[in-house]
Chains A and B, each alone.
Chain A
Amino acid sequence: MYYLKLIFKNIFRHRLRSILTIVGLVVAILAFGLLQTVVNAWYAGADMASANRLVTRNATSLVFSLPAYYRERIKAIDGVTAVAISNWFGGVYKDQTFKNFFATFAVDHDVFFDLYPEFRVKPDELLAFKKDQRGCMVGRLIADQHGFKVGDVIPLTSPIYGGGTWELTVRGIYEPKDETTVTRQLYFHWDYMNEQMKKRFPKRAESAGVFIVQIADGSRAAEISQAIDREFRNSLAETLTETEKAFSLGFVAQTEAIVTAVKIVSFVVIVIIFAVVANTMAMTARERLAEYATLKALGFPPIFVAMLIFGESVLISALGGALGILLTFPVAAGFKLAMGTMFPVFYVTGQTVAMQVAASVAVGVLAGILPSIRAANVRIVDGLRYAG
């Protein structure tokens, strides 16, 4: 016990230096945790994906649509329980900044919310939405961001579908089931959009962006995907069906370079703080060489001296690390607020905390190795002579 006390006393001998080192550690561990959370946020859509949902899209590329009548043919395939069209509407609210961005989809209003049980909807609101052809459902996140209430009219323009300003009435607000659920989307009637298209650009009517396919048994996903694609092989629009997770991960893969860069940088910050802590420990050990020699002269074994400095390094890192981890939670919450809807899902996972713990322990251990070896090996005569 007195051993620990001695280390504690040692830490606060150079109060300013120790505090600065700990502050540095806090900043680094905090930054590391935030960056890891950003990386996790990138995968938000994929985390939310259900094993019971498949996505069917045009095989050439997502920007090509599929004929809407495919819906009935997909529904007839064995194992499929429900199918909903979902078109990326690309709606722009106010202007095209990150701040005002949210996703807008035109969907089959009668089945869509049955396919997504993770969106909690009030039955009366859902009914109102189904009845109003120009109605829409908005997620909790955008409702809070822009203060939308039931009955509000949201004006949207779409660079994809054109047609001036589309005015949609909020008929309901859906809530997330848990923190992995993304509620940054607005859903409205595909039928409404289709009718507008028929009037304005008849050639572009009756088209589906993707089909969301619900299957009864998640373990049959591969087999059913193949069955769907076989159905449309050699047709004018061949399809590509994959699980919702694979579909979302495809999006992530497109921006993989950025995710990789953020990951690399999150480890660079640990290396930087390692340099700072190692420096502190090297200086501390150098200053105390005379002391270590005295301890040895009194008969303490080299391992005792080594553990003294090593323990100090680990303890400082543990203190800084613990503070950093504690701060991560409020800072992440503040960051989420500041970024608006850019990261619809942003929370610190257990894995991130575990990595933070591992990083601070690693920094403490690595930074302590060299100085403790040096302290253990100091010759009593040299140490006593050393002026610091």
Chain B
Amino acid sequence: MKIPFSYIFRNLWTRKLTTLLTAGGMALVVFVFAAVLMLDAGLKRTLVSTGSLDNAILLRQSSQTEIQSSVYRDQASLLETMREVAHGNDGTPLVSKETLVLTQIPKRGSDKPQNIVVRGLPALGIQLRPQVHIVDGRWFRTGTSEIVVGRSIADGFEGVGIGERLRFAAREWTVVGTFDGGKSGFDSEIWGDVEQMMQAFRRTAYSSVIVRLRDRQALGALEGDVNADQRLILDVKREPEFYAEQSKTLSTFISILGLTLSIIFSIGAMIGAMITMYAAVANRTTEIGTLRALGFRRSSILSAFLLESVLLAIVGGIAGLTLASFLQAFTITTMNWQSFSQLAFGFDLTARIVTVTLVFSIVMGLVGGFLPSVRAARLEIVDSLRAA
């Protein structure tokens, strides 16, 4: 015979303060746990959406980031003639020769300058990234000192409004537009004309070359051709793969730190649940005896108390998740160690995270409630009726 659910629920309801405090503690743990998972998911989505499966990126051999790489002009021109490269309607090869430099701009509300990526690219480069579009103002004109800024830069940094002028590389650059990178890493970049950037930064080589592949399977063939040509000492990578590598360090750091914290915190929360449930058992000794005398089995008592603890944990879990879901409105900007520049990314609440978090809170409830429930189930009828 099972103990009615309403009995379990009412037990929690009568001791409101205790229930609130225990569930509150659990909610905070769940909040931290979910926040970390969301942050990691947000970071991964940002970097994955930065690349396209149709594009390949070429860097100088063994350089891990675009900043470290240099591709000479003659190398870049050779790439345009490769047979794996797709061509546009007018027959031009879809190859974007780009240069990447870092400059420093103060974050809004602080005077501390942060490293920002400035990307010089040809008009074709914009075409190769269909997820990017202008939201305010217009694109820069080729051959001018005009720049456009990504959305995270426009929101988070000083002096980058349309019409404002930025000074770097001994030149004044006019901001003419803001673009939306579709929540990709491009949101944290400043874009301008590649030849202007090369002149201003006195560079003779590009940083990277992006090519649109004839078809997705052509990557292997391109790699083979590049390796075969002695003039091209370049590494070929598919874009999403390249961007995933870029975030590896940061992503590992966030998950290790977050999981360590969640484990330590959950110990605290489980102790809280244990205390509450032990008290519940102690307070209700007579009640348990009565239930047993009425014919409820030990297993029913055990499951009733376990369920009470799990219910408590679920209340905490849902409260924590609700709190965490508000985080989606925030964006975090921090330095990506690998690219040495600022990257903005948000908290991403996915279905998987909701499931994992709820399972996590249920486990906390089960572990915290197990020992007290066993004690309740073990009580002898006679002793417990006499207890009062």
Contacts and interface: CB of A to CB of B under 8 A. Distances in A.
Interface of A: 16-17, 20-21, 23-24, 27-28, 31, 35, 60-64, 90, 96, 98, 157, 159-160, 162, 203, 236, 238, 249-250, 253-258, 261-262, 265, 268-269, 271-273, 275-276, 278-280, 282-283, 287, 387-388
A265 B21 contact: no
A268 B258 CA distance: 13
Given A238-B170, A279-B22, A250 B113 contact: yes
Contacts of B110: 253
B109 to A, nearest CB: 12
B265 interface: yes
Nearest to A252: B112
A59 B316 CA distance: 51
A257 B334 contact: yes
A236 B29 CA distance: 54
Contacts of A96: 64
B25 A255 contact: no
A377 to B, nearest CB: 15
A287 B268 contact: no
A255 B334 contact: yes
Given A17-B279, A24-B268, A60 B335 contact: no
The 6 closest A-B pairs by CB, nearest first: A275-B25, A254-B335, A279-B21, A257-B334, A276-B272, A253-B112
Contacts of B279: 17, 283, 287
Contact of B261 (A31, A236, A278): A31
Interface string B65-96: 10110000000000000000000000000000
Contacts of A62: 102, 115, 340
B257 A276 contact: no
Contacts of B170: 238
Contact of B268 (A249, A273, A278): A273
B25 A203 contact: no
Interface string B42-83: 000000000000000000111111011000000000000000
Contacts of A261: 332
Contacts of B32: 265, 268
B68 A160 contact: yes
Interface in B298-318: none
B271 interface: yes
B271 A203 contact: no
B29 A278 contact: no
8 contacts: A24-B272, A61-B101, A61-B115, A157-B62, A262-B257, A275-B272, A279-B22, A282-B21
Interface in B263-285: 264-265, 267-269, 271-272, 274-276, 278-279, 283
Contact of A61 (B22, B104, B261, B335): B104
Chain A interface main SS type: helix
Interface of B: 17-18, 21-22, 24-25, 28-29, 31-32, 60-65, 67-68, 101-104, 110, 112-115, 168-170, 201-202, 204, 249, 252-253, 257, 261, 264-265, 267-269, 271-272, 274-276, 278-279, 283, 332-335, 340, 342, 388
A255 B335 contact: yes
Contacts of A258: 253, 334
Contacts of B21: 275-276, 278-279, 282
A254 B17 CA distance: 43
Contact of A282 (B17, B29, B65): B17
A63 B118 CA distance: 12
A320 B296 CA distance: 40
Q: Which of A28, A250, A265, A271 has most chain B Cβ within 10 Å? A: A265
Given A157-B62, A254-B335, A61 B102 contact: yes
B25 A27 contact: no
A65 B335 CA distance: 21
A287 B283 contact: yes
A269 B278 contact: no
Contacts of B335: 254-255
A63 B67 contact: yes
A346 B368 CA distance: 33
A23 B368 CA distance: 14
A61 B252 CA distance: 27
Contacts of A253: 110, 112, 114
Nearest to A261: B332
B64 A159 contact: yes
A265 B261 contact: yes
Contacts of B275: 17, 20-21, 24, 276, 279-280, 283
A236 B203 CA distance: 12
Given A265-B261, A283-B279, A287-B283, 17 more contacts: A16-B278, A20-B271, A21-B271, A24-B271, A27-B268, A35-B261, A60-B104, A61-B115, A63-B101, A254-B334, A255-B335, A275-B25, A276-B268, A278-B21, A279-B22, A279-B25, A282-B17
Contact of B269 (A21, A256, A272, A282): A272
Q: Which of A20, A279, A388 has most chain B Cβ within 10 Å? A: A279
A257 B25 contact: no
B202 A27 contact: no
A255 B336 CA distance: 8
A35 B64 CA distance: 31
Nearest to A161: B68
Contacts of A250: 112-113
B177 to A, nearest CB: 23
Nearest to A34: B264
Contacts of A61: 101-104, 115
A275 B332 CA distance: 29
A66 to B, nearest CB: 13
Contact of B271 (A249, A276, A282): A276
Contacts of B25: 272-273, 275-276, 279
A380 to B, nearest CB: 21
A271 B18 CA distance: 15
